[in-house]
Structures are given as structure tokens and as C-alpha cells.
Structure 1
Amino acid sequence: MNMQVFSKGVSEARAKKALQQDDFTRSSAMKILSNLWAWLFLLLLVIFFSIAAPGFCNLFNFQSLGTNMAVLLVLALGQTFVILSGGIDLSVGFVMGLASVCSALAMQKLTGQPLVVMILAGLAVALVVGVIAGSINGLLVSRLKVPPFIATLGTLGIAQGVAYVLSGGPPVSVNSNALGFLGNGFVLYYHPKAGFHFFSPPPGITGIALRHVSGFLPLPVIYLAVITLVCAWVLARTKFGRHLYAVGGNAKAASRAGIPVNKQIFRIYMMSSLFAGLAGFLYVLRYSGGVANAGDALMLSSIAAIVIGGASLFGGEGKILGTVVGALIISVLQNGLIIEGIDPFWQYAAVGVVIILAVLMDQAKARIIR
């Protein structure tokens, strides 16, 4: 009798242990999936459009995709710092537009001056616009304790109004071929007969022969790579980055630990607007002009890229690499749908579906951790 009870107890213990092992295996698998789903989704998108959209899977389309993604990712990188702190910046789109208008106006006034003078002046003006907008946001949120949503919404309206007043509505054009090259040029050019040449088509290639010139490594992608690496280094290797995660995780605990929370928040909003100003300057380089609503459609896309990349809207969790993957997913979706000839308005619906999927994955991950 005792042996039967003992055997039954052993069998129940083994069954319980087996169930625990199964639960642990499923939990581990779900955790891995929740961490890598964005990468897997990006891979599936590339495979799908490579099969369904002729012309998608080639080097020149990928270069175009990277060039078109540059402004979005710069906005998203700045917004990442705010999201990690547990805040949000709704003003970046029109701060970018205002910066593009002011930068273009400055360059327009300097037409005929050396290109270096035009570029430095345009960049300085764009960054000053970012500093002013960031100071307003940072002061309202950190010192006056205005909710980030309301504070940045107010700044959005100010930037929008000033941008339209300065531009008068139409785009502000800058007539400079060299400016267009900096926003659309390549590091390396190749012609079947003349060979390779850096930063410009091979000498002597003009007229119809230019059709056979191919470009490699777009300059905007180079700018983007440098900016992204700097952001990743700041978050991973500096005291600012460590304090940012601490403030986003628990602001009160961070304050007790001696971190100047208000100063940190001020810097974060300043950085976000600086990136918006930089995005406005890159827009001028790309399109040889500025326009008030240049970043209007990009504001929500920048937040979407961060969420898709795995950052938590409650702060304290996220990485620069995740933002890059999120921006890639949005850009691949838009690029593939355009090549397929699908109505551009469906891009918004597709991005919305991906955002919902990202939130569901984030909730699943949270349940697993608990």
C-alpha cells in the first residue's frame, strides 16, 4: 500500500516537473519571438515584395529606399530619447518644417556665396530653430510640469503658424545644383567605359552618356549611418544614456539616486528638437528647398518606428537599433506598396496594422516577464 502511494507521488511529481518544463520552454520561445519578431517581420516583408513586386529586389531600389528613409529615421532617433524618458514629442513634424523653411530662406539670401558658407549657414539656422523649440518644450515639461502631450502640442501649433507666415505657404526654393548633389549624390559613380569616379560622374561623361552612369552609396545614407552610430554610442556608453534609462524607468527613484531629473528631461526635449532641426536641414538638401508641412506626415511615422522597434511608450525600455528596424519596416512597406501600384493611402492602414501587432507583442512580452 505504501509502495503504491509512493509510486503515485513520484508519478505526480514527474508530471508536474514535465509541465513546468513545457511552460518554461513555451515561455522562452515566446520571449525570443517577442524580442525578434520585428526582424522576422522585416525579413518576411523583403521576401514577399521580392517575389510580388518586380523591381523591388535590386541594389538601386534599396539605395533609393535608404535615401528616402533618412529624414524619417533622423526624426525617429530624436523622438527615441523622449520615448525612453516616458514622454512624447508631438511637435517634431512642424519643428522640422519650420527648420526647413528658415534654413532655405537663409541659403536663398546667400545665393552666389561659396557653397560652404551656404551650407554652414543653413545648418546653423536649422539647429537654432531646434534649440528654441526644444527649450520651450523642455521648460514647459521639466519646470512648469505641463504634460508632454499638451506642451508639445502647443509648440506644434506655434511652429506650424510661424512656418506658414515665413514661407507664405508655397515651398521656399534654393537654386543650387551643388546643394542638390549633397542631398541626392553618391560616394561612387561608375560608367561602363570610363570606370569608377568618386563624388561625381567620370570626367568627359555628358549628355546622353549620363544615362549609363550608376551611383553607389548615397550620401544621405552615409549621413544617416554616422548619426545613428553616434546616437547608439550616447545611449550605450555615456552617463547621459544611463540616466535617461533611469528616469524613464522610475523618475522618483532616479531623483533619490541623485540624478538631476528636471535637467535631464530638459536636455532630452532639447535633443529631440535638435534632431527635428537636423531633419529639416536634410530635407532642404534632398529637395533644394523647405516647406512648412515637410514633416507633418512623418511625426506619427517616427513614433510608429519606435514602437515597432520594441520601445515601451511608458519609458525605460528601447534601443536605437530597434528604432532603425522599425523605420526600415515602415519604409519597406511604403516602397513595396508603391512598386506594386497600390493606392498610397493604403500605406497608412498597413502601418497601423503593424503598430497594433507591435503593441500586442509588447503586451505578450510583459505577461511573460510577470
Structure 2
Amino acid sequence: MSAKSTSLSSPAQDASAGQDEVLAPSNLVAFAGRMWAVLFLIALIVFFSITAPGFFDLFNFQAVGANMAVLLVLGLGQTFVIISAGIDLSTGFVMGLSSVASAIVMQALTGYPLPVIILLGLMTTLFIGLAAGAVNGVLVAYMRVPPFIATLGTLSVAEGVAYVLSGGPPVSISTRGLGFFGNGFLAYFHPEAGLSFLAMPSGVTGTAVRDVLGFFPLQVVYIVILASFCGWLLGSTRFGRHVYAVGGNPKAASRAGIPLAWTLFKIYVLCAVSASLAGFLYVLRFNGGVANAGDALMLSSVAAIAIGGASMLGGQGRILGTVVGALVIAVIQNGLVILGIDPFWQYVAVGAVIIMAVLVDQAKGRFFP
């Protein structure tokens, strides 16, 4: 009886104990460890807002969002691969190949209606992504080739085909109106002409165009749609649960009846399609494609995933974390440019943040398992 009585407590005592537990320093440290990327992003925004004139501005923030679009889309599919304890090295050149192939097709269709040109360019992009993803998926999932080796081979093939198709130089597109889909805005406002959507306010010509304000870049609209879809796919579907299971404990997942090979195949197809869509966004933004369009972005996309809290050992990660990681990289790049710092220091800054992300991840695993 006395033993039982020692374990009983009043509701008030339970509430007080719960509050003390929430406010305990260890819990605050654990919270900071989980949310460090968000806190670091806020700190970066505050720092550059103070030191970089013009940084804290609505239109600069819109530019940051538009500039990170390709990087984020490249990282969305890679997030699934990282969570499954794999890696896809081919995404950068799959992006470049899809940009070149779609640019060639769209340039050949010059004179056709713009919707037809865009649709066929998009279909070309998706075909490239599906083909590359199928090759990676078969090699990794069914032939048991290590992801590093399999995707390294696909990288070389995609790079070679992209340079053969383009001949080396960028492939430009002269189709009128295409640039709007890569650099336009969802809404426009002019002090006299008022508000309009998806087009300049009517009657605004000449020097009055300079007074038109654009809101919600279409590139941001695209990534909101794609990130929302990937977030739903990873967090609310059976496929998403299988991705976590495969990355966390493949043997247990197999015993639970999860089709490991088929799940891995779909993951690598999804990653390649995501990379090809990044290539298509590149074409829309720059009116052309280039073979090495995603060469430097591949590692940056993995960095965004690591900064966002995904474990490189698999089984852990979120799409929202990848979005935050991409924002961190984009804010660093934008802030350093405004400060007039040599662009090469961007690589140093991003590398330092990657090391910080790894250290934080190790600290979380050691002190807060």
C-alpha cells in the first residue's frame, strides 16, 4: 500500500512536473538541436538585414525564392533517396541532359503555338527523367549495384549524351513569350492601372512599365506545388512509410512484407524525374539549356538535405527540412552578393554550414537518441 502511495500524485503536481520537464534545460537543448536550421535561417536573415543594404526587402525575398527554385526541385527527389540510405550522383547531369533535350525540341518547334511548345518540352523532360530513373532503379534495386557506383555511371552517360546533343555550347530558344513562364509573376500592380494577374496591366507601355510591381514569382509558385506534393507523398502515403522503413531497417521492412526492390526502383525514378523537372525550370528561366546546368547544384542539393536534418545513414528526413536547407543556402548566397563579397566565398560558407549540420546531427544522436 505504501509503495503504491509513493507513486501517486495530484493533478496539480503532475502538471507542475510536466511544466518543469518542458522547461528543463535538456529539453530546450534538444529543441534547439531539432530546430537549429530554422533558428540559423532566422539568424542569417537578421544578420544580413543589418549588414546588407536592401536585403530586407519584399522584392529581394522574392528573388531569393525564385533563385532557389531549381536547387530545391533538384533536392526534392534526392530527399527520398537519402532517406532510403542511398545517394544519386547523377541528378546534376540528368538535369543538364533534360534541359538540353527539351531546349532542342522547343527550339525546333518555333512557330507552333506556345502551349504546344511548352507541353512537348515538358514531355521530353519527363521522358529523360523516367529513362534515367529506370536505369538507376534497375541497377540499384534489382542488380544490387551500390548506389554510388550505379549513379556515377549514369552521371557519365548523361553528361556525355548532353554534350553530344548540344555540341558543347548552350542551346538557346528564341520562342517569344517563353520567358514569362520562367521569370514572370502571378500578379502585377501599377499605381494607376491597378492589379492584374498573369499579365501586365492593360494600357501600361513605355517608361510606365518601370512602375509595375510584380508579386509571387512563378518559379516560387512551381516549387510550392512540387514541394507540397512531395511532402504529401512522403508524409501521408504508404509509399512514404515504405521509404522510411527501407532506409531505417531494410531487414525489418522485408519481414513486414514491404517490397524492397520495387520501393527502391520507384525512389530512384522519382529522384530522376525531379532532376529532369529542375532542368525544365532552368530552361524556362534562362530560355535555353546547357549540359552542365546542374553540375554545381548536385552537391548543393545534398547540402540542403543535410542542413534540413536528414540523416545520411537513412531513415530520417523531411521535405520541409529540405526547403529550409535550400533557403539557408539561397540566403547565404544572396547576402554575400549584396555585401559585395567574392562569389567563391559562397562555397566556403556553404561548406562550413554542411560541417555544422553533420556535427549537430552527431550531437543529437549522442546526447538525445
What is the TM-score normalised by the length of structure 2? 0.93
AA matched with 2:34: N
Q: By how many angstroms is 1:326 displaced? A: 0.3
Letter in 1 for 2:328: I
TM-fit CA distance, 1:312:
0.2
Amino acid at match of 1:344: P
C-alpha separation in 2, matches of 1:201 and 1:284: 22
AA at the equivalent of 1:284: V
**Alignment-derived partner of residue 63 in structure 2:** 64
Q: Kindly indicate whether residue 360 of structure 2 is the aligned counterpart of residue 358 of structure 1.
A: no
The reply to whether residue 314 of structure 1 matches residue 313 of structure 2 is yes
Q: Does 1:284 align with 2:276?
A: no
Determine the structure 1 residue equivalent to 2:14.
none
Q: 1:196-217, CA deviations, whole angstroms, 9 ceiling, x for partnerless residues?
A: 1111111121121111111011
Q: 1:326 corresponds to which residue? A: 325
Partner SS for 1:334: helix
Q: Does 1:137 align with 2:136?
A: yes
Q: Which residue in 2 is equivalent to 1:189?
A: 188
- For 1:1-370, what aligned pairs fall within 5 Å after superposition? 25-370=24-369
Partner of 1:177, secondary structure, is: coil
Gaps of 5+ in 2: 1-19
Contact 1:27 1:368 in 2 (8 A): no
Q: Percent identity?
A: 64
Alpha-carbon distance between aligned partners in 2 of 1:210 and 1:300, rounded to the nearest angstrom: 39
C-alpha contact 1:186 1:216 (8 A) present in aligned 2: yes
Mapped to 2, the partners of 1:33 and 1:194 lie a distance apart of 48
Alpha-carbon separation, structure 2, partners of 1:155 and 1:198: 42
1:30–1:365 contact (8 Å) kept in structure 2: no
Query: Residue 4 of structure 1 corresponds to which residue in structure 2?
Result: none
Worse-matched range after superposition: 194-203 or 310-319: 194-203
Superimposed CA distance per residue, residues 42-76 of structure 1 (whole angstroms, 9 cap, x where no aligned partner): 00000000010001110111111100111000001
Q: What secondary structure does 1:234 align onto?
A: helix
Q: Which moved more, 1:85-94 or 1:29-38?
A: 29-38
- SS, match of residue 129 in structure 2: helix
Distance 1:319 1:198 in 2: 33
In 1, the alpha carbon distance for the partners of 2:134 and 2:234 equals: 21
Shift of 1:26: 4.0
Corresponding residue SS for 2:94? helix
Q: In the alignment, residue 294 of structure 1 is paired with which amino acid?
A: A
**What residue identity is the alignment partner of 2:300?**
S
Structure 2 SS opposite 1:217: strand
Q: CA deviation at 1:27?
A: 3.1
Q: Give the secondary-structure state (helix, strand or coil) at the position aligned to 2:195.
A: strand
Q: Secondary structure at the match of 2:35?
A: helix
1: CA distance between counterparts of 2:93 and 2:351?
A: 22
The amino acid that maps onto 2:196 is: H
The answer to which of 136-145 and 91-100 deviates more is 136-145
Report the Cα distance in structure 2 between the residues aligned to 1:268 and 1:35, rounded to whole angstroms.
26
Q: Tell me how far apart the structure 2 counterparts of residues 130 and 173 of structure 1 sit (CA, whole Å).
A: 21
The one-letter amino acid of 2:47's match is: F
* Superimposed CA distance per residue, residues 149-197 of structure 1 (whole angstroms, 9 cap, x where no aligned partner): 1111111111001000000011111112311000100111111221111
> Could you tell me how far 1:268 is from its partner in structure 2?
0.3
Do the aligned residues in 2 keep the contact of 1:130 with 1:274 (CA within 8 Å)?
Answer: yes
Does the 8 A contact of 2:107 with 2:175 survive in 1? no
Count of residues in correspondence between the two structures? 349
Tell me by how many angstroms 1:271 deviates.
Answer: 0.3
Query: How far does the alpha carbon of each residue in 1:246-296 deviate from its partner, in whole angstroms, 9 at most, with x for none?
Result: 000011110111000011001100000000111111111101100001001
The answer (yes or no) to whether the contact 2:83–2:247 under 8 Å persists in 1 is yes
1:2-54 CA-to-partner distances (Å, cap 9, x unmatched) read: xxxxxxxxxxxxxxxxxxx99x9343222111101101100000000001000
The whole-number CA distance in structure 1 between the counterparts of 2:194 and 2:100 is 39
The answer on whether the counterparts of 2:72 and 2:301 sit within 8 Å (CA) in structure 1 is yes
Match in the other structure for 1:6 = none
Length-normalised TM-score, structure 1: 0.93
Distance 2:149 2:184 in 1: 40
State the SS of the aligned residue for 1:196: strand
Are the aligned partners of 2:97 and 2:159 in contact in 1 as well (CA < 8 Å)?
yes
Q: Name the SS of the counterpart of 2:177 in structure 1.
A: helix
Aligned to 1:13: none
3-state SS of paired residue (1:216):
strand
Larger-gyration structure (1/2):
1
- Distance (whole Å) between structure 2 residues aligned to residue 40 and residue 369 of structure 1: 19
SS at match of 1:190: strand
Q: Structure 1 CA distance, aligned partners of 2:61 and 2:104? A: 32
Deviations 1:102-150 (A, max 9, x none): 0000101111001111011000000100011101111111111111111
Residue identity opposite 1:199 in structure 2: L
C-alpha separation in 2, matches of 1:69 and 1:97? 17
Counterpart code for 1:356: I
* Rounded Cα–Cα distance in structure 2 between residues aligned with 1:211 and 1:112: 30
Q: Which amino acid aligns with 2:318?
A: K
Cα offsets for 1:297-331 (capped at 9, x unmatched): 10000000000000000100011110000000000
> 2:7: which partner in 1?
none
